[in-house]
Structure 1
Amino acid sequence: MFKDLVVIVTGGAQGIGKGITLAYAQQGAKVVIADLNAGLGQQLEQDMLAQGYSALFVPTDVTKEQDIIHLMQRAVEQYGTIHILINNAGKFQHQSPYEVTFDEWQDLLQTNLTGTFFCAREAAKVMRHNAKGGSIVSLASTRAEMSEPHTEAYAATKGGIIALTHALARSLGPDQITVNCISPGWIETGDYEALRPIDHAQHLSGRVGLPEDIAQACLYLTNPINNFVTGINLTVDGGMTKKMMYEA
């Protein structure tokens, strides 16, 4: 279903993004890896090419408009068009609201929210010329609706992504572009074996999530046969946010 479709994954060289990148490659897509970390991006590109996958790494800072424009241009130069964009690039901030500076707040918004919008806009400029449009998925978070202390900036950006998603779905719908977002819960990108039984037990699914779980959600939302699904926020958290805290 994804064979020869052109997919861009921002933050695609590490963590959840890497899992998404590999999932599309395994489905036969032509994957453009956008990441700020040139070392990891180049290594992943080389590894994928060695395995026979179609991959292109483009160094990208999503806080810079020209980097975003260049990313889309390179994708079109290499593969002719863009069918799918996964907005995964982002950063986390844990800092008291009494201490966070204006510049720190702006940096997080610029990375997580502004970058998401401008990547979507520039990709849509290409997608709108496709015969069957395209698909955009952005990574929000369950932290958009629940919080730990000292995560105001991060929560604000992820809540903004959910709102941005349905707004873009409305605006881009006439161009046959679906726009959705995913709110991951606890997705372990480090040593999964080091997790404790109590960590897994917090989830209705009985386990902590993996990058592959988010990748599968991306494949569902961007599958061309699912073009009736647009404007939604899909929570993928093993049921963690549905578990009452006072449950025995």
Structure 2
Amino acid sequence: MSDRTILVTGGGSGIGRGTALHFGGLGWRVVALDRDEAALAELASLLPAEACLTITADCGQEADVIAAFRQVDAWLGGAPLTCLVNNSGIADPACGPLEDLALADWQRWIDASLTAAFLCSRQALPLLRRAAPDQAGASIVNISSTRALQSEPDTYAYAAAKGGLDALTHAMAVSLGPQVRVNAVLPGWIETGPWQKATERKAPDHSAADREQHPAGRVGEVADIARAIEYLATAGFVTGQQLVVDGGMTRRMIYA
């Protein structure tokens, strides 16, 4: 078992679940935070009990985050946190017409992703700073989105949250280095259906047109993002960067 530990927010399903299992497979210790207790229980059943900690928490709420990181600190027993993955967020980007968007609904998207990244990064810093400066040291990986770069109609709050996350990434990289590196992964279309809890799991169903939108010839998989996170977590000279993982979709001009 590695002495490295990764903490993944939104770890119960989707990209978060796949990332937790990927790093568990590499021998890392895994901490997962999520609002969904049932999803966390499923995740915990797939990892060695002595190397996994799951905590039910809303990462957009300060009190939840403070309490969760107290548990993480106690579980680590003085050992460092190697990597924080700020992955929590609202998966559905559609919020309806701008004139109908309530402030409370706007705030839900912002808090679930951008505020959560701020709160978790702030609480994680003392644990990350314990990491030895040799090899790659400690890092934060923010899970943004290609929707920070391009939009569909009526996705204002989601796009704003992810765009803010990209800006937060380079701001933290400049301020927290060299002890802590900070990077972002911008996923494109990633199929997360197989990575939901059992009651919500779905098999992929992609048309030829879906695949043809991607120069890589397919829709993205959760493993594509997990491997990108692994690279950033171990690439000691990479910080302040935005790594787009979208099969080339944002580079292709598509006409109606």
Which TM-score tier does this pair reach, normalised by the shorter chain? Answer: over 0.9
- Partners of 2:27 and 2:108 in 1: CA distance: 35
Worse overlay, 186-195 or 144-153 = 186-195
Q: Confirm or deny: 8 A CA contact 1:25 1:53 kept in the other structure.
A: no
**Normalization by structure 1: what TM-score?**
0.93
Match for residue 215 of structure 2?
204
Q: Confirm or deny: 8 A CA contact 2:81 2:130 kept in the other structure.
A: no
* Offset of residue 183 of structure 1: 0.4
1:216 aligns with 2:227: yes
1:167 aligns with 2:176: no
Given candidates 135, 146, 152, the residue that maps to 2:139 is: 135
* Offset of residue 33 of structure 1: 1.0
> 1:156-195 to 2 correspondence within 5 Å?
156-174=160-178, 176-190=179-193, 191-195=202-206
Match for residue 158 of structure 2?
154
Structure 1, unmatched stretches of 5+, are: none
Worse overlay, 4-13 or 63-72 = 63-72
Q: Confirm or deny: 8 A CA contact 1:28 1:53 kept in the other structure.
A: no
* Offset of residue 148 of structure 1: 0.4
Given candidates 46, 60, 68, the residue that maps to 1:63 is: 60
Which 4+ residue blocks in structure 1 deviate beyond 3 angstroms?
none
1:202 partner amino acid: Q
**Normalization by structure 2: what TM-score?**
0.90
Identity of aligned residues (%): 41
* Offset of residue 71 of structure 1: 2.1
1:89 partner amino acid: S
1:214 partner amino acid: I
- Partners of 2:3 and 2:126 in 1: CA distance: 20
Structure 2 CA distance for partners of 1:7 and 1:205, relative to 1, 3 Å: same
* Partner SS, residue 186 of structure 2: strand
How many residues of Structure 1 are paired with residues of Structure 2 in the alignment?
241
1:60 partner amino acid: A
**What's the CA shift string for 1:54-104, capped at 9, x where partnerless?**
211111101211211222222221123311100000003412111110111
Worse overlay, 66-75 or 199-208 = 66-75
- Partners of 2:204 and 2:105 in 1: CA distance: 34
Q: Confirm or deny: 8 A CA contact 2:191 2:204 kept in the other structure.
A: no
- Partners of 2:69 and 2:27 in 1: CA distance: 20
Structure 2, unmatched stretches of 5+, are: 194-201
2:76 partner amino acid: Y
1:73 partner amino acid: R
Q: Confirm or deny: 8 A CA contact 1:26 1:53 kept in the other structure.
A: no
1:125 partner amino acid: P
* Offset of residue 47 of structure 1: 2.5
- Partners of 2:240 and 2:55 in 1: CA distance: 28
* Partner SS, residue 206 of structure 1: coil
1:210 partner amino acid: E
- Partners of 1:129 and 1:21 in 2: CA distance: 21
> 1:1-248 to 2 correspondence within 5 Å?
3-49=2-48, 54-80=51-77, 81-91=80-90, 92-94=92-94, 95-132=96-133, 133-174=137-178, 176-190=179-193, 191-223=202-234, 226-246=235-255
